[in-house]
């Protein structure tokens, strides 16, 4: 079932597979919208109730018109579907939102499956990336941004649109959100130094072919989360659902079994 969810001064597109039991909520990365979960969706929805949604400006969700918080939007999605507790499955940007909600409302989270996650409060220097994206955007070279992004995040697929048209299509589709969300998305409170407060079953999967800065961040995150299981996906970059969907689905299922 597809629906639009009211979130403060905006709305989000969301989809609920239906069913009983503890739900899974899939929270997508900034390098793709909710369709990034397509390679694992059928396997997960065959066993569990699965909710996924598009963040503001991504996919089928309208661009924001005012300030918003990623974790507050995630909480609003849970509220809309009447989910008192859920297992959160977050990738990159979606991982950061999932971690923030777990710290803010631990009673609502039964488990965390994190894939190449981000986290607020980590000293991650993105100035070079932001400057290059700004330069290409000013020149009107959106395809150049796609090529640059794949060179950073899509090395397993070849690192170019020609070699990896699927990842290129995902990245190309989210560029409008990157620009429309500037000035509206408000960062959640710093979470990195609070990771030791997480008390739910957690698995964190990093992509060994991801950017070294992301790998280092993910290693430190796993070390700080009590009892976290760290998994190294040897054939993944920043697109694990595209590179190793079977491994992603298996890790979610294993985490779910712990969370029940």
Place 129 in a pLDDT band, splitting at 50, 70 and 90.
Answer: confident
Would you say residue 233 has pLDDT above 80?
yes
Q: Cα–Cα distance between 210 and 197 in angstroms, integer?
A: 27
Between the two ends of the chain, the Cα-to-Cα distance in Å is 25
Q: What value does the mean pLDDT take over residues 67-87?
A: 97
Would you say residue 25 has pLDDT above 80?
yes
Q: Which residue has the tokens 């290059």?
A: 132
Would you say residue 243 has pLDDT above 80?
yes
Would you say residue 126 has pLDDT above 80?
no
CB-CB neighbours of 98 under 10 Å: 30
Place 4 in a pLDDT band, splitting at 50, 70 and 90.
Answer: very high
Place 134 in a pLDDT band, splitting at 50, 70 and 90.
Answer: confident
How confident is the model at residue 47, as a pLDDT? 96
Q: What value does the mean pLDDT take over residues 74-94?
A: 97
Question: Could you report the per-residue pLDDT of 170-220, keeping only the tens digit for each?
Answer: 999 999 999 999 999 998 999 999 999 999 999 999 999 999 999 999 999
Q: What value does the mean pLDDT take over residues 66-90?
A: 97
pTM of the model: 0.97
How confident is the model at residue 214, as a pLDDT? 96
How confident is the model at residue 141, as a pLDDT? 94
Would you say residue 125 has pLDDT above 90?
no
Domains of the chain: 2-123+185-259 (3.40.50.1820), 127-180 (no CATH)
């Amino acid at each position: 079932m597809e629906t639009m969810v009211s979130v403060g001064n905006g709305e989000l597109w969301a989809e609920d597979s239906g069913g009983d039991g503890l739900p899974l909520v899939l929270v997508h990365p900034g390098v793709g919208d909710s369709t990034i979960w397509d390679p694992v969706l059928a396997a997960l929805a065959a066993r569990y109730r699965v909710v996924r949604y598009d963040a503001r400006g991504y996919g089928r969700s309208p661009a924001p018109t005012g300030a918003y918080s990623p974790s507050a939007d995630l909480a609003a999605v849970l509220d809309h579907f009447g989910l008192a507790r859920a297992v959160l499955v977050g990738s990159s940007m979606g991982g950061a939102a999932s971690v923030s909600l777990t710290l803010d409302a631990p009673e609502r989270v039964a488990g965390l499956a994190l894939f190449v996650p981000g986290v607020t409060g980590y000293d991650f220097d993105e100035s070079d990336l932001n400057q290059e994206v700004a330069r290409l955007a000013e020149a009107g070279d959106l395809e150049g941004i796609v090529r640059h992004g794949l060179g950073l995040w899509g090395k397993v697929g070849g690192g170019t649109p020609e070699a990896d048209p699927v990842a290129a299509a995902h990245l190309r589709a989210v560029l409008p959100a990157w620009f429309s969300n500037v000035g509206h998305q408000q960062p959640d409170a710093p979470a990195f130094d609070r990771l030791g407060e997480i008390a739910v079953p957690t698995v964190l999967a990093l992509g060994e072919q991801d950017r070294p800065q992301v790998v280092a961040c993910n290693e430190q995150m796993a070390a700080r989360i009590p009892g976290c299981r760290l998994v190294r996906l040897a054939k993944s970059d920043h697109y694990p659902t595209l590179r190793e969907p079977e491994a992603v689905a298996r890790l979610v299922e294993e985490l779910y079994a712990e969370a029940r």
